[in-house]
Chains A and B, each alone.
Chain A
C-alpha cells in the first residue's frame, strides 16, 4: 500500500530527522548533569549515613568507590558516552540510584501502563469533548439552551488542575464516599484480567481522569471555537451557503472538517507528552504512574531515573511528530510531499 501524498525520499528524510532529534536529546542529557558537577553517589552515601546515625562510617569511602565502579563512573568520559548512547537507544537505563537494586526499566515499566491508561484515555476524552463543545458553541443552529450551558463546562479550565482535583476529592471521596481517594486499585484485590479488578481500577481512575479532562477540555473547546469563527467568513463558507446545502452538511463538511485540522496537530503533540504523566494529578491521587515516579525521582535526586523519563518523553514526542507528519497528507489534501502535482 502506498500512503497518499508521500514518497520514499520524504519518509527517509523524516526518519533521519527523528534519529537526529533522539541523538541530540541523549547527548544533552549526558552532558548537562556532568557540567553541573558533584558526585551523586557520594551525596547519596552521605545521606544514607546521616539517616543511619549521623556519623561518617569508616567504610563510606570504599562504598562510594565500589558504587562508582558499579555505575561505570570511573571510565573515561568518551567511553561513558558511548555506553550511555548504546544503553539509551536500547532503552536500557541501568539502575535507579535511590531504589537500587531496582532497575529504572522495572520502575518505569510498572508505572507506564497506569499513566498511559489514565492520562492517555483522559487526554483523548478531553479532546473529543472539548472539540465537540467548541464546535457547537460556534454553531448558530445549536439550541440556545444548550448553547448557554456549554461555556459552563469550561469553568473548570480556569481552575488549576490540582485545585479541581482537591475539590473532586473533597466532594466525591471524603464527603460522599463514592470513589476511593487514591492509588490505582485497592490493596485487597489481586491484579489480573478479571471484571472485579477492572471495575476496581475504573473506580480509582474516575476522579483523576475527571480532573485531567476538566482541566484540559476548555483549551480544546476554545481553540476549536476560535477556528470555527475564523473560518466563518471564508469564501468557501459563503459559497456553501449560497449553494443552499443542508445546514448539517455545512456544519460537518465545511466548518468542522476545516477547523479540526489544527486540533489534530495539537492532539498529536499532546499524545507524545502523556508518557511523562501528569505530576500534579498523580501526586494528588497517589497514582502509581510515571508522573509520580518523576516526582519521587526529583525529590530523591535520582537523576538516572529523571533523565530516563525525560529521554522517553523526548523520544515519544519526536515519534508523535513523526507519525503526525506521515499521516497529515491523509487528513489534509493540501499537504503533499509528492514531487509533482497532477495537473
Chain B
C-alpha cells in the first residue's frame, strides 16, 4: 500500500467504432501523490481526456473501461456501486472539464450551481451559511460575490473558468483533475487563470492532474510530468529531469520543438488518430521515431527506471549486452 492519492494500473479504455474498437488508452499506469501537481501532456487525440473521465468513471458512450484498476485514496473504483461512486465524485475527486465554456447549466444561476453540489453531498444548509460559503469560494478564485447572481451566458470565458474552479474546490477534494483548463482562453487570461488554479490547490493542499498539450506551458506549472503518445504513457519524471534529459524520442521531439506562441494551437496529428485505431506492432511511436531499430517492430517496450523517479518506455534504454545502461543513454551521468 502506498500513500498515493490516486493509483492507476493497467488502465485500458476502448471506444466502439464502426471499424472495431479504438483503444484510446492502452494499459497506462501512474500515481499521484498528496499535494503534488502531475502534468499529463501529449498531442490532441492521445487519450488525455479519456483518462480524465475514466478517473471519475464517466467515460462517455461508446467508450468503456476495458481493463485496469483505479484506486482513489485506497478505494478501488472499478467495483464500486453507482451510489457510492456518486458520493465519491466531487467529494474526493473534482473535475475542471475541457469544455468549460459550455459546462455550466445555462438556465441556473452561478450561486445555485455551487449550492447544489454542496447540498447534494452535505445536505441542506442554512441560507446564510451557504451564502457565506459561496462568497468565500468565489473570493478564492478572485471573483466578486455578485457573480453568484449571474447566469453563465453573462460571464466572460475567464470568469466561467474561475467559476468552474470555485465549484471544483467547494467540497475540498484531495484530487482535482483539470482537463486543459485554459486552452479555450486567450493567452493573457490563460496565465492568470492557470496561476489562480495553482494558488488555490496549493493553499488547500490538493493534488492535481493538469492536462495539457503544450509542454512549455506545463513545464512552468507542474511538479512531475507524464508524456502520453497514442494511448500510452511513454515517459514520467520530475519536470527538471525531463527537460534536462528528455529520454523518449517523442519527448525529445516535444522538448526540442517547443512551439512559439503563434504555433500553440491544437494540431491533432493524423498519425495519432491512425495509431489509436490501427496500433502498429511493437512500439507505438515506431512509425514516427527517427531512432527506430529492428527490436521496436517486434516488441512493446516496457517501462524502465533511468534514475529514481524518471521512467521511460523505449528499447533504447533496455540495457542487455552491448547496449548503453539506462542512465548513461539518457545522459544522466
| B-binding segment of A56-64, A183-191, A210-218, A250-258 | A250-258
Contact of A244 with B120 in the complex, beta carbons under 8 Å? yes
Cβ B108 vs Cβ A253 within 8 A: yes
Interface centre among A241, A243, A247, A254 (most CB of B within 10 A): A243
Q: In the assembled complex, how far is the CB of residue B16 from the closest CB belonging to chain A, in whole angstroms?
A: 15
Q: Does B328 contact A (CB under 8 A)?
A: no
Known: A258-B105, A333-B107. 12 other contacts (CB 8 A): A233-B60, A235-B102, A236-B106, A239-B97, A239-B104, A242-B58, A242-B89, A243-B120, A244-B86, A244-B121, A247-B86, A333-B153
Task: Report chain B residues within 8 Å CB of A254.
Answer: 105
- Expressed in whole angstroms, the minimum distance between the Cβ of A6 and any Cβ of chain B is 16
Min CB gap A234→B, angstroms: 7
The answer for the CA separation of A334 and B154 in the assembled complex, in Å, is: 8
Q: A76: CB under 8 A from chain B?
A: no
Chain B, residues 259-282, CB within 8 Å of chain A (1/0): the string is 000000000000000000000000
Nearest Cβ distance between residue A190 and chain B, in whole angstroms? 50
- B58 & A236 in contact (Cβ 8 Å cutoff): no
User: Of A242, A244, A334, which is within 8 A of B97 by CB?
Assistant: A242
Chain A interface residue count, CB cutoff 8 Å, equals 26
**B333: shortest Cβ distance to chain A, in Å?**
45
Evaluate whether A244 and B107 lie within 8 angstroms (CB atoms) in the complex, with A235-B97, A238-B60 already known: no
B125 at the interface (CB under 8 A from A): no
Q: Which residues on B are within 8 Å of A, measured CB to CB?
A: 56, 58, 60, 85-91, 94-95, 97, 99-109, 116-117, 120-121, 150-151, 153-154, 156, 167
Residues of B contacting A238 with CB < 8 Å? 58, 60, 97, 103
- Cα(A334)–Cα(B121), bound, Å: 29
Task: Please give, as numbers and ranges, the residues of chain A lying within 8 Å of B103 by CB-CB distance.
Answer: 235-236, 238-239
B120 near A343 with CB under 8 A, answer: no
User: Closest chain B residue to A237 by CB distance?
Assistant: B105
In the complex, the answer to whether A342 meets B154 with C-beta atoms within 8 Å is yes
Contact indicator B89/A244 (Cβ below 8 Å):
yes
Asked if A158 is an interface residue, CB under 8 A from chain B, the answer is no
Whether A75 sits at the interface, judged by CB under 8 Å, is no
- Asked if A2 is an interface residue, CB under 8 A from chain B, the answer is no
Query: Is A246 part of the contact surface with B, judged by Cβ < 8 Å?
Result: yes
CB of B116 within 8 A of CB of A343, answer: no
Min distance, Cβ B129 to any Cβ of chain A, angstroms: 20
When C-beta atoms are compared, the residue in chain A nearest to B95 turns out to be A242
Interface residue A52 (Cβ < 8 Å from any Cβ of B): no
**Chain A, Cβ-Cβ closest to B86:** A244
Q: Mark A307-343, 1 if CB is under 8 A from B, else 0.
A: 0000000000000000000000000111000000111
* A243 lies within 8 A of B106 (CB): no
Per-residue interface assignment for chain A, residues 235 to 277, with 1 indicating a CB less than 8 Å from any chain B CB and 0 otherwise: 1101111111111010001100110010000000000000000
Interfacial chain A residues near B106, Cβ < 8 Å:
236, 258, 333-334
Complex CA distance for A333 and B109, rounded to whole angstroms = 9
Residues of A within 8 A of B60 (CB): 233, 238
